[in-house]
Every structure is written in structure tokens, then in C-alpha cells.
Amino acid sequence: MTDIVEHHTLFIAGQWVEPAGTETIEVVSPVTEQVVGRVPHATPADADKAVAAARAAFDHGPWPRLSLVERAEVVTRIKDAIAARHQELAELVTLQNGSPMLFSVRGQALSAVGAFEVALAAAERFSQEDERPGTGGPVLVRREPVGVVAAITPWNVPQLTIAGKLAPALLAGCTVILKPSPETPLDANWLADVCAEAGLPDGVLSVLPAGRETGAYLVAHPDVDKVAFTGSVAAGKAIMAAAAENLTRVSLELGGKSAAILLDDADLAVAVPAVVGGTCAANSGQACVALTRVLVPASRYDEVAAALTGAFAGLKVGDPADPTTVVGPMVTRQQQERNLEYIRIGREEGAKVLTGGGVPKGLSTGWYVSPTLFGDVTNDMRIAREEIFGPVVCLLRYETVDEAVALANDSAFGLSGAVFSADPDRATEVARRVRTGTITVNGFRLDLAAPFGGFKDSGIGREFGPEGLAAYFEYQAVNLPAPNPS
């Protein structure tokens, strides 16, 4: 894709309409630093229009009143269209945020298909009502869609985070206003067309590319019943505070600073590729689930440090359109500068750069950061405590398993993690002790069939699988008459 992708209208209530304002969002390539896309910037007035349409569609339209099976037929068509055009979608995401094509195909486009698939599978097994015995007679427990949903998604894995909200919300019978990140609005508009072509009724979906002002207005809107957000901790706290004014339901998937624990018998042939795959190779490190703290027994520290140094140094950094590239650019100059500033802070704190530590040679154009491994890190350093969101990884020593677990848990976050051992049962026992939402034994995996979310500052609620679908329902108890005594 070389031409500028331009949109002059907004997708509101199932139609492409003129925006209320004149401001536009320019999408800048992280590779060339040139404008590659342009869309209207949605205003609060556009948000009012979208919310009013979503409210009317929920309160009076057909979508919530269809059976779950009928809604699933439409959602299946959306999923099938994404699957059929996944290469096109992957290229569009790479154009916007610089994800390597190696990751964009699987981690961006096909993962979105997977999120739709697991939501549909959960819907097949889902019961919207069941009767159970109560203390005074039978009770009919019903599950009703939560209502109008504001879905606010980030730039790093835009389609996966959209799918994790849109698929279950639609299946539940909700109506949705999607606010994608201003860095990545093009794929959201692409999805709007897909949904319209699949037969989604008017009013059920609107797409509002916008920055913080419109997002804050949407979150505080009294006609929004639920906010589903993926992004930073600071933004999540602001959303929760704003939502409290109307008691709006929230689900928040926020940051991470996840630990990979290598036990003393860990097989480095297994652990090293998994750590690479869970850090620098995971969207160039721009992943909330990244294994950014690697905890290593002091007795094996030098061995692990050498192996990871070699692996990181050997990663191909460059043009994300090249199918052999593993690490692409940061999404914005600001993200590049953030990573470089943390590298400076790490050096200042006394950590040792084992490899990387700056901008790769020959890549002065584009927002690149070399895969960087810090050694001699202690858990009180900022680089070990704060989310950097890039290809920067910390190596920490420990003496005992208890100390390793304590280090893993000594974090404001609790989103992901991993434990490596030649004995999977031993690793599983250690994994049970780590307070984190997802943890993998001898690997790195985000399984879309399982509930995903975090402990502590990593968020509230769960996405994906049956739990992700259940998050878009409210419960109603109907107390039925007690049977007449015979």
C-alpha cells in the first residue's frame, strides 16, 4: 500500500455520514515518517449522534430482540469476511503501526478471527435463562444484554482488542460505539464496512476515530451502559472515575510487567525462544503481556545471560513489510523516545546493557529501538517496575524459588507470566503461586479460549472465552410462584 488511505465520512449507526467537525486525524507511518492515511476526527457532537442511535437501536430496534442464534449468524458472517480478507487486514495494520508482517498476519488479523471464533463457540453453549430451586419456590434466572457499550481500543493490537469486545457484545445483543486509537483508525473503518456488508442492522455499530477529549465525553455519557477499555493504567483510572458518576459498568484491560521465572532445571532450548517470542518478537515488544522481567537462578545467571544476549542480538530489525523482519519500529516517535529514555534511566540506575541500548545502525528514518537486554537489574529499579512497552527486557537474579515468587509478585501489575522447568508439575506449582491473570508453563501463550485479564493495576474483568461473553450480560431473577401444596 503506497497511496494515502483517505476517509471523508464517519461510520455512525451503520451509515457513512458527514462529520460534525472539520478536524482530521493523519496516520503517520512509523517506517517512513510520512502520512499514509487520513480520517475525520470525531467530536463530542458525533458521539452524541452515535450514542442516540445506539440507544434507540437497543431500546426499540430488532438486534437485542433476535435470538442468540440469529445474532450468531450475522457475527459468523463478520468473522468469515475477516478470515477471507485477513492478508489485506494485516497489511493495513502494518501500514499504520509498523507491526512486522510476521506478527500482523497471526497476531493481528488471524487472532481477531480467533477471538470471534471463541466468542461464537461460547455462545453455542450459553444459556440465556435457566430455572433453579429457590428458598421459597422456583427462580427463573435470566441474562439480559447490558445495553449500549462504548468500546475504547489501543493501537498495539487494534483488531484483537476490538474483536475481544465487539464479538461478545454483539452476540449478547448490545449496541456498540467503537472508539479506536487515533494512531490506528484505518482498520476500524475497514471493519465497519465488513460489518455493514455482513448485515449488521443500522444503529448497532458506530466507529468514532478520536483522541482523548471525545473518548472522555463518551465514557461520561449518561446513555452508555458499559465501557470496555484496553490501554494504560492512568487512562483506566480516569475512565473508572468518570464512569462512577453514572454507575456505568466497566471492564478494564490495562498494563503489565510480567515475569518469566526460569527454575534451576529450565531447558534453555525451550525457555530462550519463548522469552524472545514473549518480548521482542511480540509486536516489537509493544504488548501488555510481554515477559519483560526474566528471573534467573544466580547459579545459572551467566549461562542464561549469554544465551539471551545472543538471541536478542540476532533478531532482524527493520522494515515491517519484509516477511523476515522480527522487530519493527515503535508506533510513534513518542514511543521511541519513551523507550530510549528508559534505556538511559536503566544505565543511570546501574543496570548493564548486555545488547542493544539505542537506535539500530542504518535505521535513522523510522522509530526503531534495538532489542535491548539489561543485566544486573534489581527489582527496585524503575526499568523493573514501570511498563516500558518496547523491546527492552530486564534480567534479575534470585537465590531460592520462594524469592523468585516474591519477586514476580512484587509488582503493581499482574497480567501475564511464565515458569520454565524440566518438571512441568513443579513449574505448575510455582505458577499457582504467582498472582497474575495468565501464566504459561514452559512457553508463552495468550489462549483466546481462556479468560484474559489482570490482577491489581492490570485491570478489572476478563475478556475472551465464556467469561468474556458473560461480561456483556446483566442478571435478572424472576421469582416464580411456589407450587400449590397437594
Paired with 457 in beta bridges are none
Residue 157 CA to residue 417 CA, distance in Å, equals: 19
Which residue among the candidates 174, 195, 280, 288 is catalytic per the annotation?
Answer: 288
Residue 27 CA to residue 180 CA, distance in Å, equals: 13
Alpha-carbon distances, residue 138 vs 69, 130, 131, 133, 302 (angstroms):
27, 10, 7, 4, 65
SS (H, E, C) the chain: CCCCEECCCEEECCEEECCCCCCEEEEECCCCCCEEEEEECCCHHHHHHHHHHHHHHHHHCCHHHCCHHHHHHHHHHHHHHHHHCHHHHHHHHHHHHCCCHHHHHHHHHHHHHHHHHHHHHHHHCCCCEEEEECCCCEEEEEEEECCEEEEECCCCCHHHHHHHHHHHHHHHCCEEEEECCCCCCHHHHHHHHHHHHCCCCCCCEEECCCCHHHHHHHHCCCCCCEEEEECCHHHHHHHHHHHHCCCCEEEEECCCCCEEEECCCCCHHHHHHHHHHCCCCCHHHCCCCCCCEEEEEHHHHHHHHHHHHHHHHCCCECCCCCCCCCECCCCCHHHHHHHHHHHHHHHHHCCEEEECCCCCCCCCCCCCCCCEEEEEECCCCHHHHCCCCCCEEEEEEECCHHHHHHHHHCCCEECCEEEECCCHHHHHHHHHCCCCCCCEECCCCCCCCCCECCEECCEECCECHHHHHHCCEEEEEEECCCCCCC
- Is 260 within 8 Å of 274 (Cβ atoms)? yes
Q: Of 427, 150, 107, 465, which is closest to residue 288 (Cα–Cα)?
A: 107
Burial 343-353 (b: 16+ CB within 10 A, else e): beebeebebeb
Residue 244 CA to residue 246 CA, distance in Å, equals: 5
253 among known catalytic residues: yes
Which residue among the candidates 253, 280, 387, 463 is catalytic per the annotation?
Answer: 253
10 Å Cβ neighbour count for 47?
26
| Residues involved in catalysis | 253, 288
